[in-house]
Amino acid sequence: MSKIIRIGTRDSELALWQAKTVQKQLEFLGHKTQLVPVKSTGDLVLNKPLYELGITGIFTRTLDIAMLNNEIDIAVHSLKDVPTILPKGIVQAAVLKRGKFSDLLVFKNNEEFLAQKNGIIATGSLRRKAQWLNRYPTHTVVDLRGNVNTRLQKLNDNDWNGAIFATAGVERIGLKPEDAIILNWMVPAPGQGAVMITALEENTELREVLKELNHEETEMCVATERKFLNLLEGGCTAPIGALAYIKKEEIHFKGVLLSKDGTKKIEVSGSKKPEHYLTLAEECAEKVLKKGGNRLMDDLKLERQETNIYSTKTLTETQKHLFQNGIVSDSSDFIKIKLNRIPKNRIKQEIENVIITSKNAVEALLASFSPDELQFKNIYCVGRRTKRLIEERIGPVKHTARNAKKLAEYLVEYIEGTEATFFCSDIRLDDLPTLLSENKINLTEIVAYETELSSTKINENIEGVMFFSPSTVQSFLLKNKADKIAFCIGETTATEAKQNFKDVRVAKLPTVESVIELVNEHYT
């Protein structure tokens, strides 16, 4: 191939290590490559809803979307993070030779706590937690999330006895501590230690190239593990372990399903000739179900029915399907919008500079005037989606910014003339008008719509709330306590939340999808 192969990867240290490993192998074979770190989903430009395409995995979703949008040619994943059913149009193109599949206990001081009653272990994995509590039922398991560096630092900073990691992960980036032991008794996650490369199904030429990187023995073993996982209908919310390996011309398998607290455990094992690897997975899954796995899986499904995230804006079905397994969301509109009838005499003639900071203002304009009556020379707006609506319904946008303050800073430098018309809400932030006034730009404000606070009392057990404007924060506090995690769409909303909430998180991009991604990261 003469074309440069664009390698999509997440931007964590481990993900980049994996992507660079693939890059080296491709370049050794004579192919030109380019690494493309993908940070966030942003606006999802797809012809079909994500759930129709089967896009589900929190760690893989961003790369799936980038591939379907033709921004990358291949994606490199930790195989254990890849859902067992890939999105339509995307296929597994290769699996690299597997690294170490074991789990690793990193401990502080010494290992004596293993024989003691009150040990404290940290992990964000339900599988590891359940297996640890099954073996050490009197210990306490605390939640631990973040990348490898962050988790090691948290272990150092807290009064814990140890934390559990994937051996391959810490070794690949050179961070394996001396105070660590392999947990040979713990059954790993399906696919742990392996790297998967995905590509578009239609790209047959590229898939032929990637076959040269495929390790058939690893491919067979992880396929067995993932088939077992798929048949048990498991995912991130089910403590399932699976391991297949080839020895003496046979494929051997062991699997485990546990309750979340580790009090219930179902184990299976078996072996067959390698060519019957899928039959082996099916037989082992059937054994688990016959041993009580059906009831245990039903219990696990019921456990995750309780709502743990609330959105202060009604979510669409597509948006609801973006949450990873284990997150149950509910939503309602905490602010209601009333579009004002804008008098004809307010825009009798062509307006040179128009400022629009929300889609609600666009809707108000279109409710009062036909597109032909809206003769605006220069339109400035906030947000890509607002821009998209304006250009579809009214006309071209001269400049768009992430927030009102950024737009004001741009206008101070580049606005044509010294006057502008701002179509706004009755509740609006002072940043833009104040900055323009300070720089001698005359601003005519037209209240295009009114905002009404419409608070709802939510269940006290809900862990986090998604906020999309300062007004949604204000509305929420009318009937609820500020004792949740506040997941905010932007810095302005976060500033409002910080006046009352202790734990405030800010999305990477000012979109609903990015806030959902922020929620998913918390539960990963």
Catalytic-residue membership of 261: no
- Closest residue by Cα to residue 430 from 448, 449, 405: 405
* Single-letter residue type at 239: P
Q: How far apart are CA 358 and CA 379, in angstroms?
A: 13
- Closest residue by Cα to residue 480 from 465, 470, 502: 465
User: Which class for 151: exposed (0-12), middle (13-18), buried (19 or more C-beta within 10 A)?
Assistant: buried
**In this structure, are residues 316 and 470 in contact, taking their beta carbons and an 8 Å threshold?**
no
CA atoms within 13 A on the CB side of 393: 16
**In this structure, are residues 459 and 500 in contact, taking their beta carbons and an 8 Å threshold?**
no
Q: Which residues does 505 contact at the CB level (< 8 Å), separation at least 6?
A: 485, 486, 487, 488, 494, 518, 522
Q: Exactly one of 11, 43, 64, 81 is catalytic; which is it?
A: 81
Neighbouring-strand partners of residue 309: 329, 464
| 3-state helix, strand and coil shares in percent for the chain, rounded to the nearest 5 | 35, 25, 40
- CA–CA distances in Å: residue 501 to residues 42, 64, 461, 494, 516: 26, 34, 16, 9, 19
Q: How far apart are CA 372 and CA 389, in angstroms?
A: 16
Q: Which residues are catalytic?
A: 81
